[in-house]
Structures are given as C-alpha cells and as structure tokens.
Amino acid sequence: MRSLVLSSLLLTFAFGAPVGGVAVLVKNSPITLYEITQEMKLSGTDATKSADTLIRKKLEQLEAQEKKISVSASEIKEEMERMAKQNNLSVEQLIDAMQTARGINESELKARIEESIRGQKLYSSIAFSKMAQPTPAEEAEYYQLHLDEFSHPDSYTVTTYIASSAEVLQAKIDDPMRNIPDITTKDENIPTKNINPQLSQILNKIEVGKFGPILPNGKNSFMSFYMKDKQNLITENLDSVRPQITNTIMGEKRNQVLNDYFTRLRLSAEIKVLRLP
C-alpha cells in the first residue's frame, strides 16, 4: 500500500512539476521536458536521441556522485589555461575564439571542460588495466586516413556575410541571388597564421564555392563565410602532429571503454521514460 501511494505521488509530481515537468526518471533522478527541449535545440537531434544523451549524462553524474568524484574550479581553470597555451592564446582570447567559432560562451565552455574532466576521472576509476600507447604503425595509419585534418592552405579568400539575425543570414544562404538589405558583405583574404586554430578548422572544412556555418561574431550579430579560394595547401608532416594523433587515439580508446561501461550500466539501471516533447 505504501509503495502504491509513493508511486502515485511520484507520478503526480512528474506530470505536474515546474519547468515543463519530468520526462524521464533515472534512478529516481529527474530529467525535465525543458532539458530535453534545450538539448534538441543545441544538438539538432530528435526527442528520443536528445533524451538518450541526457540519460547518459545523468548516469555519469550519478556514478560520479557514488564514487565521490568531483571537479574543482581550480581544475577547470588549469584546463582552460592549458587549452589556451596549446593554441598560443590567452584565456580571454580562447573564450572569445570559442564564442566566435562555435557559439560557446564562457559558462558553457566551463561546463564542457568540467564534463570532460569528470569523464577522465570516471575512466580512471573504472578501467581495470592501463591502456597501451598507440604504436608508430597505428599513428602512421591514423595520419594517412586523416590527411585532410593535417592539411591547410596558406590563406583563404572569402566573402564574409554579416547580419543581425541567424534567420536573415540563412535566407541569404538559401537564396544567394536574393537582395536582403539587412546583410553586409566584405571581401577579404585571411592568412592562416593570423587566426586562431578553431576558426582555421572551420574555414578549412568549407568547400570552395560553398557557404560555411552560421556563427556568432561576438558583436551581437551573425556571420557566414563564402569560400572563394584556398591558396597554397600545406600538409604537416607526421612527426610534427604525432602528439596530437596520440592524444586523439588515446581519447578514442578511453571513450570506447566509457561507452561500454555505461551501456552495461544502463541495462541494469532503473530508467522510466514518462513522456517526451
């Protein structure tokens, strides 16, 4: 009887809770409809995939709590300083670069760094054996399969389109011949050495004759690059990018271990999907 009353109260809370109500319960810890809707907007995935993402994050949070794993503000600060140094930037420049190139503000960047550090600590707590470093052959194979990641031009010739809203800019991208007064353009040649690595990666992925993604420009406006030409393609040699390749391969191995662990954990965890947006 007590169990039945408790279940009734739980369902009453779930369907009458604030912030859009409870959508999923993971070990009795709620994920709200609002959280799923926000994840859908950020990731561009449907409700089911967004809920799956949040369920995985919730399992990680609960597992970290059970294992008494925490991430301090000083650890987040140290990681931001490391990232900035790695890209030859100050912390302030790193924050500006992430905002411009990926639309990630300072609080979102810190949240992602915290999640990454927590994941590394979780991995350390569940790994039963130390991962072997990639062999020179593995590194060489990765290099050959991802040569485009290690190639970049000396400079990019672009037309930069700027608008006050992403919607207006998208309308121009969808119909380039359409005259839209709210859009300004600027033709420019951008040397690779003068821009941060994040923006360089974005420009490198834009095909000649195509528009790139819509990005916030840090000035309450949005921009998109139309790629006109790329000059003097340069491919970095294997030895110069070997540390980057090693980190990437080790990261992939660590993620696989974590994925396997949380897949098994999800099968045994009490998860109730009450409703989705």
Query: Has residue 203 been placed in a domain?
Result: yes
* Residue 23 pLDDT: 93
In this structure, is residue 205 part of a structural domain?
A: yes
Q: What is the pLDDT of residue 94?
A: 83
Residues 183 and 217 both lie in one domain: yes
Written as tens digits, the pLDDT of the chain (277 aa) is 333 333 333 433 334 444 459 999 999 999 999 999 988 887 888 999 999 999 999 998 899 999 999 999 999 999 999 988 877 778 888 887 787 667 788 998 999 899 889 888 888 888 766 778 899 999 999 999 999 888 889 999 999 999 988 888 999 999 999 888 889 999 999 999 888 777 888 898 899 999 999 887 767 788 899 999 999 988 989 999 999 999 999 988 888 888 898 999 999 999 999 999 8
Is residue 139 in a domain?
no
- Residue 191 inside a domain? The answer is yes
Same domain, yes or no: 121 and 243: yes
| Residues 174 and 223 grouped into a single domain | yes
Residues 121 and 244 both lie in one domain: yes
Task: Output the six-digit token pair for 75.
Answer: 């650890």
77, 42: one domain: no
Which pLDDT score is estimated for 161? 95
Asked if residues 103 and 216 have their Cβ atoms less than 8 Å apart, the reply is yes
Task: Please indicate, yes or no, if residue 123 is contained in any of the structural domains.
Answer: yes
Q: What is the pTM of this model?
A: 0.60
| pLDDT score for 199 | 84
The domain containing residue 35 runs over which residues?
A: 2-65+266-273
Residue 140 lies in a domain: no
The pLDDT of residue 167: 87
pLDDT of residue 25: 95
* Residue 48 shares a structural domain with residue 172: no
194 with 244, same domain: the answer is no
Residues 6+ apart with CB under 8 A from 251: none
Question: Would you state the pLDDT for residue 20?
Answer: 58
Longest dimension (CA), the chain: 76
- Interacting residues of 221 by C-beta distance below 8 A, sequence separation 6+: 162, 163, 164
120 & 89 share domain: yes
Asked if residue 141 is part of any domain, the answer here is: no
Whether the CB-CB separation of 118 and 147 falls below 8 Å is answered with: no
Is residue 219 included in any domain, yes or no?
Answer: yes
pLDDT confidence of residue 101:
66
Based on the domain organization, do 151 and 220 belong to the same domain?
Answer: yes
Let me know whether 93 and 217 are in one domain. no
Pair (245, 177) in one structural domain: no
Look at residue 17 in the predicted model and tell me its pLDDT. Answer: 43
| Number of domains composing the chain | 3
Q: Phi, psi at residue 67, to the nearest 5°?
A: -90, 5
Please check whether residues 50 and 100 belong to one and the same domain: no
